[in-house]
Structure 1
Amino acid sequence: MDYRQITDSYSVSPQIEPGDVSAIKAAGFKSVICNRPDDEQPGQPSHDAVKAAVEAAGLTFRYIPVISGQMTMDNVEDQAKVLGEIEGPVLAYCRSGTRCTNLYAAIQQMKG
């Protein structure tokens, strides 16, 4: 599993598969956020499939889809709200990890 640590409590990764969840849990993550809309690319696992595996492993899952290149203030606010509610460390994923990184940066700018 390939991920980039942004802070001690927030990391990002490209698309994950249900089979990656054991490695995610072993890496110490407590929560997973999917920022990738379903059906963005043929063959990608649905967020429901990933959610089922994440929750079966005892981790928390949240779905905040962000359309590539079209991040909105609602997306930023939703991500910030969820980060305030769930236990970290958090792994957020999308196609490449860039949207998740940009969301986190926007949250930090919003905080001031």
Structure 2
Amino acid sequence: MDLRQLSPNLAVSAQIRPEDVADLAAAGFKVLINNRPDQEVGADCDHEVMAKAAEAAGMQYHYLPFHPGQITPELITDFSAASAGHAPVIAYCRSGHRCTVLWALSQASKRPETEILETATGAGYDLSPVRPLLASLANRKL
């Protein structure tokens, strides 16, 4: 697994497998967020299989599928709620990029834009394409 820390309480990763979930729980993660739509994975990693693996490992589980190019206010709000207050959290998708986008957008009114972009870049994700959306959300409360 390639875990990348975005904050002390949130890491993102590329696709994980059901057998990885127990290791994540053993490492201290309490919440698993799946941002990968079922249409992108086989039945061995769909959201139901991952939910069962999280339950067996004693983790909270949230299925918040993020289809490329389909960012909604609800998705941002749901990601923010799922990642708040239950540290530490691991979120995954195909590469970790979509999870990072959701984190960034959920932080838009809480942190300076430059800090958000630098954090993402430091984790290996270029969020320059969502910079205008970050700026537009900066003055809103989600």
Query: Could you tell me the TM-score, scaled by structure 2's length?
Result: 0.72
CA positional deviation for 1:83: 2.2
CA positional deviation for 1:76: 0.6
CA positional deviation for 1:43: 6.1
Partner residue of 1:94?
A: 93
What are structure 2's unaligned runs of at least 5 residues?
Answer: 111-137
CA positional deviation for 1:69: 2.4
Aligned ranges for residues 1-112 of structure 1 at < 5 Å? Answer: 1-42=1-42, 45-84=45-84, 87-111=86-110, 112=138
Paired residue type of 1:92? A
Give a deviation string over 1:77-101, Cα, whole Å, max 9, x none. Answer: 11112223x5110000001100000
* Larger RCO (CA under 8 A, 6+ residues apart): 1
Q: How many pairs were matched up?
A: 111
Q: Which moved more, 1:40-49 or 1:93-102?
A: 40-49
Structure 1: distance between partners of 2:7 and 2:83 = 13
Structure 1: distance between partners of 2:60 and 2:44 = 21
Paired residue type of 1:26? A
Structure 2: distance between partners of 1:41 and 1:31 = 21
Q: Which moved more, 1:62-71 or 1:99-108?
A: 62-71
Structure 2: distance between partners of 1:57 and 1:6 = 23
Q: Which structure dedicates a bigger proportion of its chain to helix?
A: 2
Structure 2: distance between partners of 1:63 and 1:13 = 15
Larger Rg: 2
Structure 2: distance between partners of 1:60 and 1:103 = 18
User: CA RMSD, aligned part only?
Assistant: 1.6
CA positional deviation for 1:23: 1.5
Query: Could you tell me the TM-score, scaled by structure 1's length?
Result: 0.89
